[in-house]
Amino acid sequence: MAGRPVVALVGAFAGGEGTAAAYLERRGHEVRLARSDWEAEALLSHPDIDVAVVDLDSPAGSGISLLRQFGRQGGPFFLIVSKQPDVVEKVLALELGAADVVEKSISEASSRHVYRGSLPGAARAAANSSSWKTQP
Protein backbone atom coordinates (compact mmCIF):
# COMPACT_ATOMS: atom_id res chain seq x y z
CA MET A 1 0.00 0.00 0.00
CA ALA A 2 1.39 3.36 -0.97
CA GLY A 3 0.01 6.05 1.34
CA ARG A 4 -3.69 6.27 2.01
CA PRO A 5 -5.85 3.15 2.47
CA VAL A 6 -8.01 2.49 -0.60
CA VAL A 7 -11.65 1.57 0.05
CA ALA A 8 -14.05 0.21 -2.56
CA LEU A 9 -17.73 0.93 -1.90
CA VAL A 10 -19.88 -1.47 -3.89
CA GLY A 11 -23.62 -1.28 -4.46
CA ALA A 12 -25.90 0.92 -2.37
CA PHE A 13 -22.92 2.65 -0.74
CA ALA A 14 -21.83 3.95 -4.14
CA GLY A 15 -25.10 5.71 -4.91
CA GLY A 16 -26.69 9.03 -4.05
CA GLU A 17 -24.73 11.66 -2.19
CA GLY A 18 -22.32 9.00 -0.98
CA THR A 19 -22.27 9.82 2.71
CA ALA A 20 -20.09 6.80 3.41
CA ALA A 21 -17.67 7.91 0.69
CA ALA A 22 -17.62 11.50 1.96
CA TYR A 23 -17.04 10.31 5.52
CA LEU A 24 -14.08 8.15 4.50
CA GLU A 25 -12.59 10.80 2.22
CA ARG A 26 -12.72 13.41 5.00
CA ARG A 27 -10.62 11.03 7.06
CA GLY A 28 -7.93 10.68 4.43
CA HIS A 29 -8.98 7.50 2.63
CA GLU A 30 -9.09 7.10 -1.10
CA VAL A 31 -12.58 5.91 -2.04
CA ARG A 32 -13.57 4.20 -5.28
CA LEU A 33 -17.17 3.47 -6.21
CA ALA A 34 -18.88 0.66 -8.13
CA ARG A 35 -22.60 0.75 -8.86
CA SER A 36 -22.97 -2.12 -11.35
CA ASP A 37 -21.75 -5.70 -11.72
CA TRP A 38 -19.10 -4.88 -14.31
CA GLU A 39 -17.87 -1.85 -12.32
CA ALA A 40 -17.56 -3.97 -9.18
CA GLU A 41 -15.65 -6.74 -10.94
CA ALA A 42 -13.29 -4.27 -12.64
CA LEU A 43 -12.71 -2.36 -9.41
CA LEU A 44 -12.10 -5.41 -7.22
CA SER A 45 -9.65 -6.89 -9.69
CA HIS A 46 -7.17 -4.06 -9.00
CA PRO A 47 -4.49 -5.05 -6.48
CA ASP A 48 -4.44 -1.65 -4.74
CA ILE A 49 -7.87 -2.05 -3.07
CA ASP A 50 -7.37 -2.59 0.67
CA VAL A 51 -10.99 -2.98 1.82
CA ALA A 52 -14.20 -3.66 -0.09
CA VAL A 53 -17.46 -2.68 1.60
CA VAL A 54 -20.13 -4.67 -0.22
CA ASP A 55 -23.89 -4.46 0.19
CA LEU A 56 -25.20 -8.03 0.24
CA ASP A 57 -28.65 -6.80 -0.84
CA SER A 58 -27.29 -4.68 -3.66
CA PRO A 59 -28.60 -4.65 -7.22
CA ALA A 60 -24.95 -4.23 -8.26
CA GLY A 61 -24.50 -7.96 -7.93
CA SER A 62 -24.45 -10.48 -5.18
CA GLY A 63 -21.99 -9.69 -2.43
CA ILE A 64 -21.48 -13.42 -1.98
CA SER A 65 -20.59 -13.81 -5.67
CA LEU A 66 -18.05 -10.99 -5.46
CA LEU A 67 -16.63 -12.45 -2.27
CA ARG A 68 -16.40 -15.87 -3.90
CA GLN A 69 -14.59 -14.40 -6.89
CA PHE A 70 -12.19 -11.99 -5.15
CA GLY A 71 -12.08 -12.84 -1.46
CA ARG A 72 -9.65 -15.74 -1.42
CA GLN A 73 -7.07 -14.75 -4.01
CA GLY A 74 -5.11 -12.25 -1.98
CA GLY A 75 -7.67 -9.59 -2.83
CA PRO A 76 -9.11 -6.93 -0.56
CA PHE A 77 -10.53 -7.50 2.89
CA PHE A 78 -14.32 -7.68 2.60
CA LEU A 79 -16.89 -6.09 4.88
CA ILE A 80 -20.31 -7.46 3.98
CA VAL A 81 -23.27 -5.28 4.94
CA SER A 82 -26.89 -6.41 4.85
CA LYS A 83 -30.25 -5.20 6.14
CA GLN A 84 -30.86 -8.35 8.15
CA PRO A 85 -28.32 -11.04 7.35
CA ASP A 86 -29.47 -14.48 8.39
CA VAL A 87 -27.17 -16.97 10.05
CA VAL A 88 -26.57 -18.90 6.81
CA GLU A 89 -25.49 -15.73 4.96
CA LYS A 90 -23.17 -14.74 7.80
CA VAL A 91 -21.53 -18.17 8.03
CA LEU A 92 -21.15 -18.45 4.26
CA ALA A 93 -19.61 -14.97 3.97
CA LEU A 94 -17.18 -15.64 6.80
CA GLU A 95 -16.22 -19.03 5.37
CA LEU A 96 -15.55 -17.36 2.01
CA GLY A 97 -13.15 -14.96 3.69
CA ALA A 98 -15.16 -11.91 4.72
CA ALA A 99 -13.56 -9.99 7.58
CA ASP A 100 -17.02 -9.31 9.03
CA VAL A 101 -20.73 -9.25 8.27
CA VAL A 102 -22.67 -6.35 9.79
CA GLU A 103 -26.21 -4.96 9.68
CA LYS A 104 -26.88 -1.73 7.80
CA SER A 105 -28.17 -0.15 10.98
CA ILE A 106 -24.65 -0.22 12.46
CA SER A 107 -23.70 3.02 14.23
CA GLU A 108 -20.94 5.29 12.98
CA ALA A 109 -18.73 4.55 16.00
CA SER A 110 -19.19 0.79 15.57
CA SER A 111 -18.47 1.00 11.85
CA ARG A 112 -15.13 2.70 12.57
CA HIS A 113 -14.11 -0.17 14.87
CA VAL A 114 -15.23 -2.82 12.37
CA TYR A 115 -13.44 -1.02 9.53
CA ARG A 116 -10.18 -0.60 11.48
CA GLY A 117 -10.21 -4.24 12.57
CA SER A 118 -10.59 -5.46 9.00
CA LEU A 119 -7.60 -3.63 7.57
CA PRO A 120 -4.30 -5.35 6.87
CA GLY A 121 -1.39 -4.21 9.06
CA ALA A 122 -0.03 -1.32 6.96
CA ALA A 123 -3.48 0.05 6.21
CA ARG A 124 -4.48 -0.28 9.87
CA ALA A 125 -1.55 1.92 10.89
CA ALA A 126 -2.70 4.61 8.44
CA ALA A 127 -6.32 4.33 9.63
CA ASN A 128 -5.22 4.70 13.25
CA SER A 129 -3.52 7.97 12.40
CA SER A 130 -4.91 11.30 13.51
CA SER A 131 -7.49 11.29 10.69
CA TRP A 132 -9.58 8.74 12.62
CA LYS A 133 -9.32 10.70 15.85
CA THR A 134 -10.96 13.76 14.32
CA GLN A 135 -14.53 14.28 15.46
CA PRO A 136 -17.20 14.08 12.70
Q: What is the pLDDT of residues 58-98, one digit of tens each?
A: 665 578 888 888 887 677 889 888 887 789 888 988 888 88
Q: Of the candidates 98, 101, 107, 111, which has an alpha carbon nearest to the alpha carbon of residue 29?
A: 111
Stretch 99-115: mean pLDDT, rounded? 68
Contacts (Cβ under 8 Å, ≥6 apart) of 119: 5, 50, 51, 77, 127
C-alpha span between 48 and 36 (Å, rounded):
20
b/e code 52-85 from CB counts within 10 Å (16+ = b): bbbbbebebbbbbebbebbbeeebbbbbbbbeeb
Question: Rounded to two decimals, what is the model's pTM?
Answer: 0.71
Rounded to the nearest integer, the mean pLDDT of the chain is 75
Residue 10's φ and ψ, nearest 5 degrees, are -120, 130
Question: Domain 6-121 in CATH: superfamily?
Answer: Response regulator (3.40.50.2300)
Q: Would you place residue 43 in the very low, low, confident or very high pLDDT band (cuts 50, 70, 90)? A: very high
H helix or E strand, kind and range, residue 102: strand 100-103
